Structure 1
Amino acid sequence: MSKQVALPVVAVAQDAACCAPLVREPLGEGDAAELARMFKALSDPVRLRLLSLIASHEGGEACVCDLTGPFDVSQPTISHHLKVLREAGVVGSERRGTWVYYRVVPGALARLSALLETPVGPVGTSV
């Protein structure tokens, strides 16, 4: 059995201010590719629910054993969805004994929401 090691996700740990809202300035190529991967990972209903379960779990992290019950899919399918979320930089993981615990990567959701933020007042033109 191979051991999984939690790797830090450096690219997403940046300040949410790195990405100005789409309505203020064009998105750069690198940010667009990274953010598209994150949005693509969240575009699946099972993955979106997994993220919600992890984020709302007590302490902000959830054991994989707590994530398999609410779904009508197999454990390997849940593991695949968690891998997609992890590779997109939305969640991180840590092995503790025989279980893997998942948590939302700090700043990942703030970065996504900052991109979609709509200005309240005029920014160059009237809204």
Structure 2
Amino acid sequence: MATVFKALGDPVRLRLFSMIASGPSGEVCVCDLTPAFDLSQPTISHHLKLLKQAGLVDSERRGTWVYYRARPETADRMAVLLASVSGDRAPA
């Protein structure tokens, strides 16, 4: 999980992940992500690659575009870990 939290420690990656996770259709095209930042397309691609390597997102190429979606199992693991650290316990 350290890799996951390290990936989210960067403000750009945290914002990218938030945008992907809250996408209305459950996925977001990279063409919709890039204009939201004052960064070059290669820089955005690098950040997305790190999110993917951390297991936070999956991607699928469709023609010339890549679509990203959050991996719910990773978010669930983060929630369990954070709940245990804060002392909250999910009801059994």
The reply to whether TM is greater than 0.5 is: yes
1:120 positional shift? 4.4
Is structure 2 residue 85 aligned with structure 1 residue 111? no
User: C-alpha separation between the residues in 1 aligned to 2:37 and 2:10?
Assistant: 13
**Change over 3 Å in CA distance of 1:72–1:115 after alignment to 2:** same
User: C-alpha separation between the residues in 2 aligned to 1:120 and 1:64?
Assistant: 36
Q: Percent identity?
A: 63
Flag the structure with higher helix content: 2
Which letter does structure 2 place at the counterpart of 1:61?
E
Output aligned runs, 1:114-125, within 5 Å. 114-117=80-83, 118-120=86-88
Structure number with larger C-alpha Rg: 1
- Which of 40, 58, 80 is 1:92 aligned to? 58
**Structure 2 counterpart SS, 1:69:** helix
Size of the aligned set, in residue pairs, is: 87
1:63 positional shift? 0.3
Which letter does structure 2 place at the counterpart of 1:98?
T
User: C-alpha separation between the residues in 2 aligned to 1:93 and 1:83?
Assistant: 10
TM-score, normalisation: structure 1: 0.65
Structure with the greater relative contact order (CA < 8 A, sep ≥ 6): 1 or 2?
1
Contiguous gaps of at least 5 residues in structure 1: 1-34, 122-127
**Change over 3 Å in CA distance of 1:120–1:48 after alignment to 2:** closer
1:84 positional shift? 0.1
TM-score, normalisation: structure 2: 0.89
